[in-house]
Structure 1
Amino acid sequence: MTYLLNALSVILQLAFSLVATLFVLRLLAEASRADFHNPLSQFLYKATNPVLAPVRRVIPNWRRINLAAMLLAWLVMVLERAALFALMGVAPHIAGLLLLGAADLIDFVLLFYLVLIFGWSLLSMLQVDPYQPLMRLAAAIVEPLLRPLRGKLTAGTLDFSPMVVMLVLIVARILLARPLIDLGTALALGG
């Protein structure tokens, strides 16, 4: 029976991660002012707007931060944890579940940036067309993180700023997200 539970938990995590990715991408694309004429940006808008539009009437943006997308991504993470606890047959405490949702969202965003910067750097080194829609969206999202270090960590034509930012993201996952996940798990399980 545990094999079936493991398979179901993987499927649940994948499904919730895909939904969370849409909301996180929408949040980051709006915050970084990604080109709306990009076909991927238009897809994000069309895929998330039916759910976001009613929520945005109640929760407006704060500066360039789409608070409605952040709230929905957090709710997706909370629902994912609740579903995983239900699969295990555990009734978690609500405070721990809410904290776990926030910790999971922080960890998800940090990991998302880590993967995106790595992929963008790799594709940049392979000299993929910078006007390709995926490259334009990825560049718009990673640029705010790379901009402070851009040009300061170069050796010849190599720019090491993506490597430094990726290292900072890994350390943030270890020092910020992991303790929050541990605390949320302890609270959820009543420990």
Structure 2
Amino acid sequence: MNSIVNFFYLLSYLIIIATTVISALLLLRMVVSWMGLSPFGWLSYNLRRVTEPILRPLRGSFGGPVMRFDMIPLVMAIFVLATGFFIANIVNQLGIIIGRLITDPLSLRSVTAQLISLMVIAYTVLILLRILLPMLGIGYYNKFMRFTFSVTEPLLGPLRRRFVAGMFDFSPLVAILIVQIIGWILISAIS
């Protein structure tokens, strides 16, 4: 049991390290750009080559190359860091749940609470995938995207009418918060 929990803990730690490194590279790209270094120098060229695929989905939405100071790396660094910590937390919770199911498999309350926790994690991941996959070019022609749409739309549809500010849609964040709170309340009531 301990080795399974340690594996998931190590995996979540590696996810945190990877997202921190990616965010640091994005911030370094922004600093190098603001310093006015030659774009054909070794550091500038390789930073652009490594980080541009990450930034490309946001280029059209935030003015492209028209802006005086390129703020897109900062926005994407914050997004990557927040998403990485969120995914690491989900992986760590999954390891804890699997560890608890292995140590105490016969308790009906424990199994019910862990199944609710797994469903909350799965639904949260589906909401997150519905946000991220269209940014990566996967549209609703894909069967999995249609599945995520049909599963998450009953919650996201009504929230989308209320939590949109301009071009920013906060309904997925509110939906994740609602799912986490309801899951926590149900698990607390059962345990």
**TM-score of the aligned structures, taking structure 1 as reference length:** 0.44
Which is greater in Rg?
2
**TM-score of the aligned structures, taking structure 2 as reference length:** 0.44
